[in-house]
Amino acid sequence: MRPLNTLIAAASVELRVRVREALEATLHAEIPKIAASGRLALQMLEHGSIDVIVTESNLPDMTDNELLDELDVRGFKTHVIVLSRTPMANARSALSRLKEGRLHFLESPGILGKSSDDEFKRFIIQVRQVLEKITLLRRATGPLERMPTPDMPRPSSPSAFPAPKIKLDTFRPKVICVGCSTGGPAALEVVFSRLKGKSNVPILIVQHMPPGFTESLAARIQMVSGLKAAEGRPGESIKAGHIYVAPGDYHMRLAQDSGEVVIHLDRGPKRNSVRPAVDFIFESAANIYGRNTLAFVLTGMGEDGLAGTQAIKKGGGAVIIQDRESSVVWGMPGAVHAAGSFDAIGDLERCGDLLALMSNGG
């Protein structure tokens, strides 16, 4: 595909220069336009084809939230990369873009004049990763949808784990874990709407999402599911009928403490280039609940969750994955499918029905 047409929106000349250098170094972007304010950026969008906007969190005339609102009002479907030290002040206004995978975040420290060469190189790598993700999303949702891409599942390898399939009609889980990434927020709404306020087991969710958004995600899941849902808290005992969402930028694991299963949070190194990582919650659940562990792997880019599903299968648990056709990106479920470490596959409605069934005793 052609390089991404990119617009840089930043007040600082130095910031604009450094971001342009980083974009050019990735070889994935063309930089036809540069704007010093949000209003100027919107005017430029009216008169040209822009795939990606790279903007600082607070432009002189509008915040990142206000810019996103304007883009939605005007019908622009551009991807937006926000450079920020802190989460957006009002995450709710950006959830629609997060659902569609069109909003991305990078930390702004380390790109200005005081940064070291190593810091700037790390920033270039981060920019390249985001642009590659955007390119894959454009392939997955556009006319090139069926072209082979790195997010599609690879053939099974000797390390694949084609475990025996579990008969779900007799399966009785004691814990359910759900992992997802790109397209996940919208998928979770569909799946959890099937619960109708009923669950006899605790449910834990890891959605790749930056700080400041997971609280709103939990509130949305609570509304559609009819169950209590909130961000997981360190040391909190998990309870049946409750939903726990991994907070943005924190790995979430399960641990045993005085006979209870509690939540452990940490900001350890990223795994699979993400934090929170799905693998940690899957593996820790398998370690505690063994053959009574059930996992769902929904839409998402990359392979996060693959190692965790293999741990679950080796412990005798069950895994359900979303199918290719209903996924925004069939990376995470596709990797599990290629490895053979799953028991059932279906679209979002089927996954939702299975969640409702399994959460109420099978």
Q: pLDDT digits over 62-89, tens only?
A: 888 888 888 888 888 889 998 876 555 4
- At the fourth CATH level, which superfamily is domain 168-358? Methylesterase CheB, C-terminal domain (3.40.50.180)
CA distances from 32 to 7, 28, 331 (A): 7, 13, 31
CA distances from 273 to 130, 177, 249, 304 (A): 11, 20, 12, 9
By three-state DSSP, how is residue 103 classified? strand
284 in catalytic set: no
- Specify the DSSP class assigned to residue 163: P
Q: Does domain 4-141 have CATH number 3.30.43.10?
A: no
**Comparing 4-141 with 168-358, is the CATH topology the same?**
yes
Give the CA radius of gyration of the chain: 21
Rounded to an integer, what distance in angstroms lies between the CA atom of residue 8 and that of residue 17? 9
pLDDT in tens, 211-258: 878 998 999 999 999 999 999 999 999 999 999 999 999 999 999 999
Residues written for the chain = 362
Question: What does the block give as tokens for 151?
Answer: 């997010």
Average the pLDDT over 184-190 and give the result: 92
347 in catalytic set: no
Angle, CA of 248, 346 and 332, to the nearest 5°: 40
Q: Annotated catalytic residue: which of 57, 84, 181, 284?
A: 181
Question: What does the block give as tokens for 355?
Answer: 């969640």
Tell whether omega for the bond before 276 is within 30 degrees of 0, i.e. cis: yes
User: Does residue 182 contact residue 133 with C-beta atoms inside 8 Å?
Assistant: yes
Mean pLDDT lowest among 146-150, 152-156, 315-319: 146-150
151 in catalytic set: no
Q: Annotated catalytic residue: which of 28, 208, 242, 337?
A: 208
Domain ranges of the chain: 4-141, 168-358
Is the pLDDT reported for residue 11 higher than 80? yes
Chain mean pLDDT for the chain: 86
Name residue 167's amino acid.
K
**Residues whose CB is less than 8 angstroms from the CB of residue 14 and which lie 6 or more positions away in sequence, other chains included:** 112, 113
- Specify the DSSP class assigned to residue 341: -
This prediction has a pTM of: 0.73
Among the ranges 84-88, 141-145, 339-343, which has the highest mean pLDDT value?
339-343
pLDDT in tens, 30-71: 887 899 999 999 989 887 789 999 998 888 898 888 888 888
Q: What is the pLDDT of residue 151?
A: 42
Q: What is the pLDDT of residue 111?
A: 53
Q: Annotated catalytic residue: which of 51, 64, 304, 343?
A: 304
